[in-house]
Structure 1
Amino acid sequence: MDLTDHIGNIVASDYRTATVFKKYNIDFCCGGGKTIEAACQSKGINKNQLLQDLLEIEKGSNPQQDQFNNWDLNRLVNYIEDKHHTYVRTTIVTLSQYLNKVAKVHGAHNPELKEILALFNTVADELEQHMQKEEMTLFAYIKEMANSEALGTDLAKPHFGTIKNPIKMMEVEHDMVGNNMSEISRLSSGYTPPEYACNTYMVSYKLLEEFENDLHQHIHLENNILFPRAIELETQLLK
């Protein structure tokens, strides 16, 4: 591992390194295309210290390090749908209720709560449409490719030309959602409620932080593992 390695590739090979990037507030999912050096330079971080932290993680044993890379694409897609898409849909309902209540009760004294609510509503709408497109179009085609490879059957060329087209769209949408969640984090001072916060206020911030962390894992699995492997498989099947 060195300073020229891309963040997304590092996390893809060992997800434990995500804790290091989170510690330094470096985006490893949407920003996974940056090198360690570029990310450190943009944030004014000591690159040698960060690299040392990553190498310390690498020294430890991690028997599950390559689990996602070793899964077949059907299993990986099903995992993303069952774990992350289900989590998003369930948590959006709960968070929307909490944030509406908190903004109504505390919004006059804490106007950022109304901004957070508006941003989260945008995130919720974006994610619901995004996941539906993934499941009905992109993921369906990835499963079709995986089955074609397993059965040795011919793969019909999709109506969107190449899988790179919907993937590019999904990555753009990932960036949009990621930027909105980053703004929510900023407005909430890193999900830190004021001392006088009621229980709903505190739970809302805790759940928002959990939601963003899950989203980082979710987007990382797609951008840095699923999508590159799907592009590679399509190239093999259609050559």
Structure 2
Amino acid sequence: MNSLETRTVAELVTENIKTAHVFKKYGIDFCCGGGITVKKACEKEGVNLKDLENDLLHVENAVTGGHNYNSWPIDFLTDHIINIHHAYVAESIPLLLQYGEKVKRVHGHHYHELHEIQDLLIEVAGELSAHMKKEELILFPFVKKLVKAKNEGSELPETHFGTVDNPIKMMEAEHEEAGELLRRISKLSSQYTPPAGACNTYRAFYAKLDEFEQDLHQHIHLENNILFPKTLKLEKELRQQ
């Protein structure tokens, strides 16, 4: 990694997913806010650039146990996002809402932030549900059409939304909204730290929220930093045929 401070956060995470853990350690957003340089990200969060660079350099040559998502065909990547991340959200939301309602009912009189957390969670659930349907019914099928057109040497498929940049911009805006809601929940919950003596349900609720946010970060990273740029590039190539 040369000139780390001038590279964007998103670029580094796309090249090596393990760097995401470093950025998370320093409280730097690598998904929605990943378009800024490492230097600017450090300035924004009050992080010592040299400390961050040192940690990043230590993971540069590490053999990652994860997948090299950047090498995957984008039609395959859409299937992965649906089968792994969309399925996770659909499975987790009902459980989180049940936990949140129970904890609010039992402890909300003392920990007033639980009421706002539950309201924000309900909002997240609604937004992500609608968001995933748009991707599964509109955007992702079009991505597959683009790949098919490329493989078959055929013309750019017609759409009702013009260039694919339009739905992508909408998805990115919705990612930012969902990310902001989770950031507010994280702040209200003191980064998902249950109070001393919290019951098991309280602890399970916060642990699941933490897990949920981490999955969402990975989910958004795959779309914003890998799938969407490659889709835009492919559409441009087909237009120029």
TM-score between the two structures when normalised by the length of structure 1: 0.97
Counterpart Cα distance in 1 of 2:125 and 2:65: 35
Counterpart Cα distance in 1 of 2:65 and 2:151: 27
RMSD: 1.1
Does the 8 Å contact 2:145/2:157 carry over to 1? no
Structure 2 counterpart SS, 1:108: coil
Counterpart Cα distance in 2 of 1:193 and 1:48: 32
Q: Which residue pairs with 1:28 in the alignment?
A: 30
Counterpart Cα distance in 2 of 1:212 and 1:24: 16
Q: Which residue pairs with 1:80 in the alignment?
A: 81
Q: CA deviation at 1:57?
A: 0.5
Counterpart Cα distance in 2 of 1:172 and 1:115: 23
Gaps of at least 5 residues in structure 1 are: none
Counterpart Cα distance in 2 of 1:24 and 1:64: 21
- Given the alignment of the two structures, is residue 196 of structure 1 paired with residue 203 of structure 2, yes or no? no
Within-5 A mapping of 1:170-185: 170-185=171-186
Q: Which residue pairs with 2:57 in the alignment?
A: 55
Within-5 A mapping of 1:85-100: 85-100=86-101
Q: Which residue pairs with 1:16 in the alignment?
A: 18
Counterpart Cα distance in 2 of 1:171 and 1:155: 23
Within-5 A mapping of 1:113-132: 113-132=114-133
Letter in 1 for 2:76: R
Within-5 A mapping of 1:197-216: 197-216=198-217
TM-score between the two structures when normalised by the length of structure 2: 0.96
Letter in 1 for 2:172: E
Q: Which residue pairs with 2:236 in the alignment?
A: 235
Q: CA deviation at 1:63?
A: 7.2
Does the 8 Å contact 2:75/2:144 carry over to 1? yes
Letter in 2 for 1:88: V
Residues 36-63 of structure 1: CA deviation (Å, up to 9, x unaligned): 0001011111111101110110032337
* Structure 1 residues 81 and 114, CA gap change in structure 2 (3 angstroms): same
Q: Which residue pairs with 1:42 in the alignment?
A: 44
Structure 2 counterpart SS, 1:56: helix
Does the 8 Å contact 2:117/2:188 carry over to 1? yes
Q: Which residue pairs with 1:6 in the alignment?
A: 8
Q: Number of matched residues?
A: 238
Counterpart Cα distance in 2 of 1:158 and 1:38: 38
Counterpart Cα distance in 2 of 1:217 and 1:63: 15
Q: CA deviation at 1:153?
A: 2.0
Higher mean C-alpha displacement, 20-29 vs 147-156: 147-156
Identity %: 49
Does the 8 Å contact 2:149/2:157 carry over to 1? no
Structure 2 counterpart SS, 1:99: helix
* Structure 1 residues 99 and 63, CA gap change in structure 2 (3 angstroms): closer
Q: CA deviation at 1:27?
A: 0.4
Within-5 A mapping of 1:106-117: 106-117=107-118
Gaps of at least 5 residues in structure 2 are: none
Letter in 2 for 1:16: K
Counterpart Cα distance in 1 of 2:117 and 2:65: 39
Counterpart Cα distance in 2 of 1:63 and 1:148: 33
